[in-house]
Structure 1
């Protein structure tokens, strides 16, 4: 990793510094989506990252910077999923009648709390420096610190095969299609 790049933990709720990067991520996901790209029009920093940050039981935002300018970030949460297992965000496509295709699988042993790596994004021009692996590792270390959340989910937008393969190569397994394949869910259980 380039020695001009630093990684900081956002303190005191200072997530606004990720606004531009988060909006770039949503545009990147829309550009690569093969299924319903128009749904990304309703997704941005305020509707996705800020809302998730405010609702989480615990959260961590790692910000990679070059000369003080954000160039990447990782956003992770610990969430109480006992009440939101069957929730549909406003932007989500509706399931076929009788079929539930939401965020979480219908496992009998699905815990009440789960970790989630919500966003991992590196600005173009900074990819292939090992920054994604570094942010991923730091996020996983933080998530692994929560003993009562023994499963971590990562939700990958359709069309982002590089991200899906990145997570699968790091010990995550495919769980299920979310919202009819709009998102692919991966998971890892604590061993």
Structure 2
């Protein structure tokens, strides 16, 4: 832990995040109190790669220790249509009459929404302020889009530490997604 750097991915190569993303999915599964088996279908290809490839704008930060990836943050800007609330294939309950999706019904959705999709650090790197640094850099990027008025972060069930972190950093609880499998937090940007 002597040569820690944070780099912005500018060439589209997110492969250094593959192992880290898979570790994040395993970490979330280990914490899950509801439907942990759903995480069996989640990995770099089904979550990060798919989201990265389909995003309107994307931002990836990689933390390296001596050149070795030890953490990352992944954010996107996406266009959203009012009433659009796709239920992904990995969702634990795909009946829209029973399971609330990603977006709340309490707000008229703006056309563009910003998302902090992943923030992960390996054990041994979580108490060094790196998470706060990745979060701040991600927020700076997300807030740089003048047409983005709303930000969301989705926290997996059982990951109360992450939920508390985002609430302490200016986000507000919004709603449960898929019957509590995920908790959504949001932040409205003053524009």
TM-score normalised to the size of structure 2?
0.95
Q: Tell me, in whole angstroms, the C-alpha distance in 1 between the residues paired with 2:101 and 2:122.
A: 29
Q: Equivalent residue of 2:166, what SS?
A: helix
CA distance in 2, matches of 1:83, 1:12: 32
**Deviation digits for residues 70-93 of structure 1 (CA, Å, limit 9, x no counterpart):** 010000000112178320100002
Query: What aligned pairs does 1:61-72 form with structure 2 within 5 A after superposition?
Result: 61-72=60-71
SS for the counterpart of 1:177 is strand
Residue 172 of structure 2 corresponds to: 173
How far, CA to CA, are the matches of 1:181 and 1:140 in structure 2?
Answer: 25
- Please name the residue that 1:144 is paired with: 143
CA deviation string 1:125-184 (max 9, x = no partner): 111000000000000000001111111100000000000000000000000000000000
Aligned runs of 1:29-178 on 2, under 5 Å? 29-82=28-81, 85-94=84-93, 98-178=97-177
Q: Following TM superposition, by how much is the alpha carbon of 1:99 offset from its aligned partner in structure 2, in angstroms?
A: 3.8
Q: What's the CA shift string for 1:95-127, capped at 9, x where partnerless?
A: 567345000111342112100000000001111
Which range moved further: 94-103 or 125-134?
Answer: 94-103
Q: Structure 1 23/39 Cα, relative in aligned 2: closer, same or farther at 3 Å?
A: same
Helix, strand or coil for the counterpart of 1:180? helix
Q: What is the distance in 2 between the residues matched to 1:77 and 1:31?
A: 26
Distance (whole Å) between structure 1 residues aligned to residue 83 and residue 9 of structure 2: 26
User: Relative to structure 1, is the Cα distance of residues 57 and 161 closer, same or farther in structure 2, using a 3 angstrom cutoff?
Assistant: same
The structure-2 alpha-carbon separation of the partners of 1:66 and 1:17, relative to structure 1 and needing over 3 Å to count, comes to same
Tell me the SS of whatever aligns to 1:102.
Answer: coil
Listed as ranges, the gaps of 5+ residues in structure 2 are none
Aligned to 2:20: 21
Stretches of structure 1 lacking an aligned partner (at least 5 in a row)? none
CA drift of 1:3 comes to: 5.7
Larger displacement relative to structure 2 (21-30 or 5-14): 5-14
Which TM-score applies when normalising by structure 1? 0.95
Aligned-residue CA RMSD (Å): 1.5
SS at match of 1:129: coil
Runs ≥4 in structure 1, deviation > 6 angstroms? none
Question: What count of residue pairs does the alignment treat as equivalent?
Answer: 190
